[in-house]
Amino acid sequence: MQQIAPPQPDVLSLAPETARTTLGAWLATRGEPHYRAAQLLHRLWRRPVAAWADATELPTALRLALDQAFPLTRFELAAHQVSSDGTEKFLWTLGDGEAIESVLIPEGKRRTLCISSQVGCALGCVFCATGRMGFRRNLSAGEIVNQVRELVLRDPEHAPTNVVFMGMGEPLLNWDAVDVALTILNHPEGLGIGARHITVSTVGIVPNLARLAARPEQFRLAVSLHAPTPELRRALMPIEKKYALGDVLTALRHFARRVTLEYVLIGGQNDAPELAERLADLAGPLGALVNLLPLHPGGAPDLAPSSRDRTREFERRLQARGVKAVLRRSRGLDIAAACGQLRVEVAPRPKVQSEEHARVE
């Protein structure tokens, strides 16, 4: 009876060193020369190919065998929109029919790609459209990083220079996959993006904040704060019930790198001058940068952005207290690609919850 070979792992979801070992062991069973492992690894990330058939430096028989053993997962580009300001939004269909969005923001020589880490989101922040989708599932490490890989395949000359985990989902609720994805993004044999050009944005999942802080690389951290008091934060962000503001701030004090605090200004909700003073009390001791963001349409129809005067006063109060505060310019509004606007319309089906997501809700 012919033995059936055990299924191989998704090689695009493996950290480069693990991928090298896995491919090397498989090559050895075929009697291939040792140097082939480096050739294959190079074609995963540094000079990626859409399929092994395109790696013409390899023998035809080996390429055919690789297509069977280690097929290279691709996304289907379901939609591509370009904003009047140059921002591009990509809607990707995944292998199981689910869909995610990622957003490319060009600015001079910098090309920042905002990537998703989950399909949907369980957190239900009142100002975010993704939360209205509910949680569908986590992305694998390969699916996270394929958002970058697909753009490299489209045009290697315009590969992203910066990556931010600010797309759909909460990265630190998918830590195992995000942990590997960070390695692939940064590793010299992966995509080779500098750690300081990679930002993880989170609402503050305290146990995994500690895990991120323990990594030696200088990854950037942005925390979605949006309120300087527990009571107000609970009204805007249900996650406050599980990971309290005080515990999040304590975790940030152990973070060796400068932290950015994200703050969406919502008219009549969190934009009062006295709240700017409270925010300065939190940001000052951390030495944090505060990103002030306008509320974008899509999250909640009953909420309105702060007025220009209120926004400027809020910024002025922070700066007067010695806090570096920056009012961010909206990008991609005309294609619903700005912060808090990402949402994929999907057919209803029961939500899939991990134990962690069930506890959050």
d(C-alpha 340, C-alpha 13), whole Å: 27
Q: Which of 88, 101, 240, 315 is flagged as catalytic?
A: 101
Cβ atoms < 10 Å from Cβ of 344: 21
- Label each residue of 207-274 as H, E or C: HHHHHHHHCCCCCEEEEECCCCCHHHHHHHCHHHHCCCHHHHHHHHHCCCCCEEEEEEEECCCCCCHH
Angle at 98 between CA 96 and CA 104, to 5 degrees: 125
Q: Which of 114, 121, 125, 339 is flagged as catalytic?
A: 339
**E-strand spans in 63-123?**
76-82, 88-93, 99-107, 110-114, 118-120
Length of the chain: 361
User: Any catalytic annotation for residue 101?
Assistant: yes
Residues 6 or more apart whose Cβ sits within 8 Å of residue 107 = none
Please check whether residue 310 is in contact with residue 292, taking contact to mean a CB–CB distance below 8 angstroms: no
Please check whether residue 45 is in contact with residue 114, taking contact to mean a CB–CB distance below 8 angstroms: no
d(C-alpha 183, C-alpha 94), whole Å: 22
Cβ atoms < 10 Å from Cβ of 341: 21
Cβ atoms < 10 Å from Cβ of 189: 17
Task: Give the largest Cα separation in the chain, rounded.
Answer: 79
Hey, which residues are catalytic here?
101, 339
